[in-house]
Structure 1
């Protein structure tokens, strides 16, 4: 499918897919089904529904009409067969990993991943699940890092903080040949700019709190895969752990998806302007953004991505905590805070002044500053960075 055709299809999915206005009296927006349970005319019909709860509305901890529409949209956007929405991105990641592992298994993480994902893997050591990290995105190096007990390769693409890309098709081929499951956090690219399942990746996870939500007012997560994986995950990690997405959050997610294509285009345009400015500034050592031709993985990105989001980082030449702190505190338009992917522009650093050993271990420069470029005016953001860097 041509990129233009794929983009038009994605827009249609975000706008209308899974919605049936005639089923709710012609309402242009699907109602929020906030009820906790669903009743049936007879006990026999209830019994049939309970025995097949994935395909019937019985209790909102299992299925809910509003949540179901959001799940259908996300599955279709990711070219997956099914999706389950969760209360947070970490709930989704936890479900995907626990579902894929058992005692004695090993997880290989590729380069930098979200710190809470790493904390989860450390926690899982109590269940005899081990993990290691390969700080390289080279497929040959990744293969060398595999163990006989490796059952899952977990990654973010681009990687956290340093924004390196992994060849997903080559990785999926390697993993399938060795009987290893691949799980990717696709939050940075969104389904609009990268579709890992089409490259052979097994499971995609998202924090819907980021770009998919886009307004800093909802928490959520999602797991997308084939029907077999999602069906088993539904009966185990979804139903039993109880980390469901409430109907109200699903309704907010549906609202946000309608503007996702427009918002992502703005994030991309603004971030590219900001990245180019930073690349030309004398105080900046390097800019980490796959949309720049100078990025080491730019060629791979042109083949694998159809666009670039608004999250990037740069490294100061004077790579000290004091300089990082001074630059961040001098910004006026960029706000200081965690998270990313929303309308506001944010600035932060993984260097907190007391974690030098951790940064070195993770191959992260102490002079790294992360930007979430939002929906504001790019020139205003550039002027803010310019005065902060001076």
Structure 2
């Protein structure tokens, strides 16, 4: 299906809303029915009817169709945050006594689910180095039901071989879930490689303007119908019509935004690569990245997120460098118009900072819409403080 058709036409029956070019925000909690038969059908199949906007809604339905098509999926669910998509996708596939295999250091709210919530219900999680397929093979138990992936992760960008993991999991009857927030469906297609469920934070590139929270889950119609009826409806974690409309607006410009950000990022990285104050740059498409061949094999782009290892001796130096940047905001997340920096040291208590620990000197960079030369000049003056 052509991406231009998906982003600009799919799901948009304009004759139903006065031929408006932009789809409407159907800001209603409730829907009325003309007959008992219509009401009965809505009760029985709420995922495909409009009964109550906690579940399905016309604005959300347009967005769901587009997101499913972008991922090459049968269906999509849209949540009020990426954390909700993680929670519902995992909870739908475990029961007491089950076992999960997860890559090391996944997104923080996935970690809290695995470490703080699921153990209360007898579900255990084993964390592994996901860069080697044999680590998955060795971690599988008879009670393993889920393999949880995040490729690339969003600090040091380790990858997992999605096809190899999917093939292994299918041979053992294990469900695979991948967080695809870094790449978006435009730059990586997990379902085409055999993954069962692909999720992403719509807050990032899909929205694109840092003004909306959303999570996306795509997969088979059968599995998503079950997740809709059980996890999404019970947690009330579906997206609001207005936020769905904001994501629809963001999708219109998604390809051109990713292309612009990718080009700017490459230019900034090339300039910083040999800077005397930077020890290393970590980026999946960098020629020194240890999994470069795999990155090119399963990703078509890497976009705007990379990490620098600063040559710093003290925490004060890192803080001074961070706040010497005039055109980067110090913030989490990514995917909007604004360039960002997130120093890893900010998550540490000052007394445990150790300059010999590389992870303490990492700073994650996001390149936004600004001119790359404008950002390079900012880096140059800020790096002088080191």
TM-score (norm 1): 0.93
Note the 1:218-229 alignment, pairs <5 A.
Answer: 218-229=212-223
Quote how far apart the aligned CAs of 1:263 are: 0.5
1-side partners of 2:358 and 2:230: how far apart?
Answer: 37
1:162 aligned to 156, 163, 168, which one? 156
Aligned Cα root-mean-square deviation (Å): 1.9
Deviations 1:30-54 (A, max 9, x none): 1111111111112332122212212
C-alpha distance in 2, partners of 1:385/1:342? Answer: 19
The answer to whether 1:176 aligns with 2:197 is no
Per-residue CA deviations over 1:291-314 (Å, capped at 9, x if unaligned) read 212211221122211111211111
Does the 8 Å contact 1:157/1:188 carry over to 2? yes
User: Which residue is 1:53 aligned to?
Assistant: 46
When structure 1 is superposed on structure 2, of 235-244 and 286-295 the one drifting more is 286-295
Tell me if structure 2 keeps the 8 A contact 1:111–1:159.
no
The alignment partner of 1:213 has SS state of coil
Distance of aligned partners of 1:251 and 1:133 in 2 relative to their CA distance in 1, 3 Å threshold: same
Contact 1:111 1:137 in 2 (8 A): no
Within a 5 Å distance, the mapping from 1:328-343 to structure 2 comes to 328-343=322-337
Query: Which of 13, 17, 20 is matched with 1:24 structurally?
Result: 17
Aligned pair count reads: 381
Taking the aligned partners of 2:250 and 2:291, their CA distance within structure 1 comes to: 30
Which one is further off, 71-80 or 45-54? 45-54
**Other structure's SS at 1:100 match:** coil
Q: Distance in 1 between matches of 2:313 and 2:136?
A: 29
Instruction: Check whether the contact 1:319–1:366 (CA below 8 A) recurs between aligned residues.
Output: no
What secondary structure, in the 3-state scheme, does the structure 2 residue paired with 1:165 have? Answer: coil
TM-score normalized by structure 2?
0.94
- Superposed displacement of residue 356, structure 1: 8.8
- 5 Å-filtered alignment, 1:226-265, equals 226-265=220-259
Q: Which residue of 2 aligns with 1:278?
A: 272
Q: Which runs of 4+ in 1 moved over 6 A?
A: 355-360
Shift of 1:111: 2.8
Q: Is the 8 A contact 1:205 1:222 kept in 2?
A: yes
Task: Tell me whether 1:354 sits opposite 2:327 in the alignment.
Answer: no
Single out whichever of 287-296 and 145-154 deviates more from structure 2: 145-154
